[in-house]
Structure 1
Amino acid sequence: MSIRRKNTPEIPLRNGLVQEDYYLNEKGFMVFTQAYHLKRGYCCKNGCLHCPYGFRKSDK
């Protein structure tokens, strides 16, 4: 699956996020990148699109 990154405007955030940490999807939602998840250092178990830890929510 290829992800198209638009020219994502820099969103002012207090948590020290930088442009490589996220992008805005077609619906305008912030999506965290694999680089961000690795920088965070643990899995949140929310089934993130770019989870480098292999967690996937089961369909119930």
Structure 2
Amino acid sequence: MKKKLTEGVDFYYNEQGYIVLTAEYHLERGYCCGNGCRHCPFEYVNVPEPRKTQLLNQHKQDGTSQKKQ
């Protein structure tokens, strides 16, 4: 049975109205889905190139860390 997602814990809505999954949700799931999620704590290991490099560079510029906790 799938867990019911909780707003503010597992996800939030961004300015465009899209659902954004939190790092906490990703850590609980336990793996990178390969979709290039904004809060991926797994350094985008399953995201294909060149998108993976673009995402990692973007987070370096933003000063955000995507390292697994």
CA distances 1:2-51 after superposition (whole Å, capped 9, x unpaired): xxxxxxxxxxxx74111200000000000000000001111101111000
Give the number of aligned pairs: 46
Structure 1: which 4+ aligned runs deviate by more than 6 Å?
Answer: none
Q: Is 1:18 equivalent to 2:6 in the alignment? A: yes
Give the match's secondary structure for 2:27: helix
- TM (norm. structure 2) is 0.58
Q: Where in structure 2 are there 5+ consecutive unaligned residues?
A: 52-69
Q: Where does residue 41 of structure 1 map in the other structure?
A: 30
Task: Determine what percentage of the aligned residue pairs are the same residue.
Answer: 48
2:20 corresponds, among 3, 27, 31, to 31
What is the TM-score when the length of structure 1 is the normalising length?
0.66
Consecutive unaligned residues in structure 1, runs of 5 or more: 1-13
RMSD of aligned residue pairs (Cα, Å): 1.7
